[in-house]
Amino acid sequence: MISFKPSKLCSPKQAAQVSHAVAPVVYQVHAARLGPLASIRLAAISHQGCASQQPTPLPGRRNFSTTRVGQLQDVFPAKETPFIRRTPPAWEHPGYTEEELLAVTPGHRQPKTVGDWVAWKLVRLARWATDFATGIGREQQVDMKNPTTSVTSQKPLTEAQWLVRIIFLESIAGVPGMVGGMLRHLHSLRRLKRDNGWIETLLEESYNERMHLLVALTLGKPGWLMKTMILGAQGVFFNAMFLSYLISPKISHRFVGYLEEEAVHTYTRLIREIENGDLPKWSDPSFTVPDIAVTYWRMPEGKRTMRDLFLYIRADEAVHRGVNHTLSNLKQKEDPNPFVSVYGANEEQHKPKAALKPAGYERAEVIG
């Protein structure tokens, strides 16, 4: 069963707002009747109400507010100190135009080498495990002959399933960039060599993924089960990435490229289900996004719906996809990072635009 864990940390207004976000999710879990296994999985998302300020729920009644709120409360209020007013992000988001947001499409790079094939199969395994863990039934599956590009299914996912999936995946997605950046940084220090601009891009990727997670956490709070799963997954994944990046950074970047293909696929499907009105809460244009997202992506007025939010996140994932597939194609120790390099006046056509090329750039296209 889904736990409704009391907390004394929030005001009645915050409780109503958080409840507003989670209530439909909880309701849909019951409505969907996903079976006992799914119930355990979805117990991961728990409600954080205020026991001291809310009446004890009567048996058989939902103990959440149905008060409508126009905007979610940010759940990470800035710490107030005597001197500091604001802590801006270290990496400002470059932003996207409307055309760039809409131009992103799911795509798949065909494996060419044994390393590619290993990376692809590992990602397929991860996708299968995620589908299983989020209780996705057969009718909710897309065409599994084209798992990365097909986004239609007989039945949509519920908002609860989406939340579990997004929070879990984003908590994992921030790991590889940090591992790669850290190892390249250490390599530069101990070998007394330049890095050629890779470190910052990798660290920025991990920062960007963490922002996705922080935004997702404003939509629902994980319970103890999901927190435990996240803890265990990070322990395993960090160490696996650490070893694999030491052994073969090329295959590791390919693996991340394939992982990001899945991320683009996931968000494209989510956007489609929102547009179809399959997700009652998130399809509602009056359900606007949290402040943390508006500030980070500088989302313009009138473009702050959940669809808009996931368009931004999807574009970020498309950038990671193109960057990692491209980096995998380069000579790891000597090639400069083409995404931050300055090109000659007549060579601008070789400058890569990561989001637009799902399979990434071949070495000859960007290095020459």
- Considering the complex, state which of residue 287 and residue 312 has its C-beta at the smaller distance from Fe ion: 312
209 labeled part of a ligand binding site: yes
320 labeled part of a ligand binding site: yes
Cα(258)–Cα(238) distance, integer angstroms: 17
Of 72, 173, 219, 327, the one binding Fe ion (CB under 5 A) is 173
Show the binding pattern over residues 207-236: x = contacts Fe ion (CB under 5 A), - = does not. --x--x------------------------
- Considering the complex, state which of residue 19 and residue 171 has its C-beta at the smaller distance from Fe ion: 171
SS3 readout for 28-79:
HHHHHCCCHHHHHHHCCEEEEEECCCCCCCCCCCCCCCCCCCCECCCCCCCC
- Considering the complex, state which of residue 250 and residue 321 has its C-beta at the smaller distance from Fe ion: 321
Residues 241-260 that bind Fe ion (CB under 5 A): 260
Length of the chain: 368
Q: Which residue has the tokens 């026991």?
A: 51
Cα(173)–Cα(309) distance, integer angstroms: 18
185 labeled part of a ligand binding site: no
Residues 261-280 that bind Fe ion (CB under 5 A): 263
100 labeled part of a ligand binding site: no
Min dist. Cβ of residue 213 to Fe ion (A):
8
DSSP single-letter state for residue 222: E
Of 317, 325, 330, 355, the one binding Fe ion (CB under 5 A) is 317
CA atoms within 13 A on the CB side of 210: 13
347 labeled part of a ligand binding site: no
Size of the site for Fe ion (CB under 5 A): 8
Min dist. Cβ of residue 260 to Fe ion (A):
5
Ordered DSSP codes for 170-181: HHHHTHHHHHHH
- Considering the complex, state which of residue 263 and residue 270 has its C-beta at the smaller distance from Fe ion: 263
Per DSSP, helices labelled H in the chain are 12-32, 36-42, 98-103, 114-133, 159-173, 175-191, 198-217, 224-247, 249-275, 291-297, 306-329, 363-366
> Which of 97, 80, 119 is CA-nearest to residue 250?
119
Min dist. Cβ of residue 24 to Fe ion (A):
23
- Considering the complex, state which of residue 34 and residue 259 has its C-beta at the smaller distance from Fe ion: 259
170 labeled part of a ligand binding site: yes
Question: Alpha-carbon Rg of the chain, whole angstroms?
Answer: 21
Q: Does 320 bind Fe ion (CB under 5 A)?
A: yes
Residue list, annotated binding site for Fe cation: 170, 209, 212, 260, 317, 320
* Residue ranges in contact with Fe ion by CB under 5 A: 170, 173, 209, 212, 260, 263, 317, 320
